[in-house]
Amino acid sequence: MSKVKSKFVCGECGYESPKWMGKCPGCQSWNSMTEEIETPTRSPGLTSSMRTTKQKPMPIIDVECAPEDRVRTANAELNRVLGGGIVPGSLILVGGDPGIGKSTLLLQTSHSLAHSGHKVLYISGEESVKQTKLRADRLGANSPLLYVLCETNLEYIEEAIEEVQPDLVVIDSIQTVYHPAVTSAPGTVGQVRECTGHFMRIAKMKGVATILVGHVTKEGAIAGPRLLEHMVDCVLYFEGERHHTYRVLRAVKNRFGSSNEIGIFEMREEGLVEVSNPSELFLSERPMGVAGSSVVAAMEGTRPILVEIQALVSTTNFPSPRRMATGVDHNRLSLIVAVLEKRVGMFLQTQDVYLNVAGGVKLDEPAVDLAVAIAIASSLKENATNSHDVVFGEIGLTGEVRGVSRVDARVKEAQKLGFKRIILPAKSLKGLTPPPGIELIGVNTITDALKAALG
């Protein structure tokens, strides 16, 4: 008998080592090395779909390529995030916390495609067929073209795909599927990598769009090596709190569209319902005439959204004041506080600063800087901002307000929701025609912005 050999693989980046190490040399993460058994030979199975034809190199100008029609679902928010619909032959990875609504969204999507005449195969490795049927009855997802299978063996899954010949395959989840030729347990790095590679070959060779559901770690990243995200064509993250009704579907990678789009959904008894006007939703509970509140016009991909920024400044008895931010980068908050102290003269060294983006949205663009600064100053001075004001602009370290992109889209969104004044960088006013009923106030420094907003 041959000697059994083992290796240690990093669960974050896929780095392999013959011995265990506490710190991975590849990604510098701690305690991420797991043991796997090496398999010197492969089983004779799984060769039908892996067999490829030998092709010769050819000039790119001689390649004939006809644009493929995207398969549009009945969910406009999902189509927006995907860039217009599902591309045939694409491999899509959907990740999110447990219970966030991944299976619900994909079952609804499968039903909408099956209802429009496309054949869909939904493969569940975590629920039985009867459990999937109960969920489908609750969601009203019953269609003769929607096929359901409970299987985790990759060989049997391939046989089912050959038999059904679907237009879309949903694997829920990739961590439960195992390759018979790999001796490690399901969910390990080797299994996830091998199974994903096999589904990628099936999708490209047969032109079958495939959606993989991926579990996430406690840090929020998709479990398994980062190689998994490099192999797929599109990576979607489902964000939100399980105890709240609103969910955000965010694209972090998309080879067929923008990687900055988001989709807003509301969890109801009948399933996930798309939210067509998220700005009105996020501002529906905004208090009027309260200090520490400002409204920012932020861009998420090609969509402008208006979100409320809330700040609370309170005196602390500790030598080191706290700086806490939810929805905004913590380092960005510290930078804005430093600029307010140095350039404006605000005394915040003995004040705790708490910042929150209402609605659970995460804003990562620098255009929210000016709204954050005005909210902090408003809370410190106990001076309420105008409830009809919208603010956006980037703040530099010298206190200047820098221009931002897509100003016209932000202004139109503010006008649609009935706002009267917009405080924005003076450089962004060039070539901009103000719509009727909107007053545009251009500012060059953060001091000018505070005077305009707080008087």
CA–centroid distance for 73 within its chain: 19
What are the C-alpha distances in Å from 293 to residues 133, 290, 390, 426? Answer: 46, 7, 11, 23
Query: Are the C-beta atoms of 181 and 132 separated by less than 8 Å?
Result: no
- Nearest Cα to Cα of residue 319 among 359, 349, 274: 349
Angstrom distance (rounded) from CA 113 to CA 160: 19
Residue 4 amino acid letter:
V
- Nearest Cα to Cα of residue 33 among 6, 3, 65, 1: 6
Residue 97 counted as an annotated binding residue: yes
Residue 101 counted as an annotated binding residue: yes
Query: Are the C-beta atoms of 248 and 281 separated by less than 8 Å?
Result: no
Quote the strand ranges of 4-102, DSSP E: 6-10, 16-17, 33-37, 91-96
Query: Are the C-beta atoms of 206 and 52 separated by less than 8 Å?
Result: no
- Nearest Cα to Cα of residue 78 among 301, 255, 305, 249: 249
**Strand pairing partners for 187?**
none
Residue 100 counted as an annotated binding residue: yes
369-381 and 446-454 helices, crossing angle to 10°: 50
* Structure token pair of residue 354: 């708490």
Check residue 320 and report its DSSP letter: S
Quote the strand ranges of 321-403, DSSP E: 323-326, 351-357, 389-391, 394-395, 401-402
Residue 161 counted as an annotated binding residue: no
Query: Are the C-beta atoms of 78 and 249 separated by less than 8 Å?
Result: yes
Residue 214 counted as an annotated binding residue: no
Angstrom distance (rounded) from CA 442 to CA 426: 4
Residue 96 counted as an annotated binding residue: yes
Q: Which residues are annotated as a binding site?
A: 96-103
Q: Which residues are annotated as a binding site for ATP?
A: 96-103
